[in-house]
Amino acid sequence: MSDVSIKRALLSVSDKSGLIELGRALGQHGVELVSTGGTAKALREAGLEVKDISDLTGFPEMMDGRVKTLHPKVHGGLLAVRNNPEHVASMDEHAIGAIDLVVVNLYPFAATVAKGADRDEIIENIDIGGPSMVRSAAKNHESVAIVTDPADYARLIAEMEEKSGATSYDFRRMLAAKAYAATAAYDSMIASWFAFADQGVMFPDTLALSSKLESTLRYGENPHQSAALYLPVGPSAKGIAQAEQVQGKELSYNNYNDADAALELVSEFRDGPPTVVIVKHANPCGVATGETLIEAYEAALACDSVSAFGGIIAVNRPLDGPTAEAISGIFTEVVAAPGADDDAKAIFAKKKNLRLLLTGELPDPARPGLQIKSIAGGLLVQSRDNGQVDRDALKVVTKRAPTDQELKDCLFAWTVAKHVKSNAIVYAKDGSTAGVGAGQMNRLESARIAAWKAKDAAEKAGWASPRTIGSAVASDAFFPFADGLLAAVEAGATAVIQPGGSIRDDEVIAAADEAGLAMVFTGMRHFRH
């Protein structure tokens, strides 16, 4: 494939950044500029000579600009195969001139949706002519260069400098690939808006998803796996993927996964008191609230100081110096916070490998959305687990009702259990986890492991008794037998929160009554696999 000299360029852009510099560079190579509406106006105001698209087509722009480039003299000039005699003859017969370069970026559909525009304005920002030109030019990339990203203007200018006003086939092929990705992403945003926002469909017949590569990662879950981070194209909730990394080495796949788990959990407390979450392998190993962040950190750490080593920490308040100093006392992989003061940043700067991520506003735990998991041969798609319960939703099922403090501990434990891998058991007391049992094949073992962890924490801290004594215990799903509940009784729990719904609920309730426990049902479970 040979180089193609650029003699005529068609420019039609919504994003005018870099346009004038590009126009001047093209002018220096003697390229004839053809343009539309606002793009032509901007080029002329910069002193560049430019022809209107109507000069090329012989038709004025009409219907409020809806029709301007959808014309044979545009698409014939883009699609004609230059070495095909029949195509060349058609061009001569109909006075169609070749177009060697198209520079297009599309109507700002995503930005229009994001600003909360009404339906009519959103529809008007669905580009028709732009994607058509992009696809025509990209199809004929053997002869036509198509630029859809202002970030590529500098590369185009450099290419033309190196090739004396021409472009190479490899360069055009690369641009064509980007162009088709751009139109695919654009169409997916429109399809998603029609399905989810306009029609309120949760699971459309075709699930159109589009994401843009943000970075490749060192490796995946294991060193022999490759990995990358992609960001959604179009309006979306912000989270750990958009956080500002202030310092530390590159984040790994596991770092992102664990940091996301920590941020999602701490966001449950975004309107609550200072809260600290410590996560290891996507499971919380310590969660606590306090009057201050450092108080919350110390309580969270005490829950399982062994697992916290090399863990991920998320907080719901901007980091201060004393808390940063305390966190620096053990090896920590990542710290995620809404912000950090200068003292905290200076303290962490001494830990060069520690990654500090500033997220800004914490995500809304009640937000809607879809969760997607790949399986062999397909995708599993479900709505986010944004279910929440409050005191009014709880049903007391035992003879003894929980005290006010027991209710608070129940709800705290329940919130944490939502973010623990099933089977999940969480003991909590006075706004702090006492023991966490995660990911076991039966609920009894989770209850025993959580109790054992609490005993181990008490021994390490020099406490007279584990914090499970007088605690509340949460189970992410119902107790199928009374044995798991009895293990909680042995650990010293006095209150239980669970979904209920087992065929043996009566047996479990009777066991709770016999032990003098207070138990509430939520009617909602939180499996997390």
- pLDDT digit string, tens, across residues 467-494: 999 999 999 999 999 999 999 999 999 9
Say how far apart CA 190 and CA 125 lie, in whole Å.
10
Say how far apart CA 201 and CA 439 lie, in whole Å.
33
At 81 the pLDDT is: 83
> Which amino acid is located at 190 in the chain?
I
Query: Residue 225 burial by CB count (10 A; 0-12/13-18/19+): exposed, middle or buried?
Result: exposed
Report yes or no: 265 and 283 within 8 Å, Cβ to Cβ.
Answer: no
At 98 the pLDDT is: 85
At 511 the pLDDT is: 96
At 149 the pLDDT is: 93
Q: Looking at the annotation, which residues are catalytic?
A: 139, 281
| Closest to 385 in 3D by CA, of 277, 479, 525, 279 | 525
pTM to 2 decimal places: 0.89
pLDDT digits (tens, 9 = 90+) for 210-264: 899 999 999 999 999 999 999 998 778 899 999 999 999 999 999 999 999 999 9
At 92 the pLDDT is: 79
pLDDT digits (tens, 9 = 90+) for 137-153: 999 999 999 999 999 99
Report yes or no: 137 and 78 within 8 Å, Cβ to Cβ.
Answer: yes
Say how far apart CA 442 and CA 514 lie, in whole Å.
23
Residues lower than pLDDT 50 in the chain: none
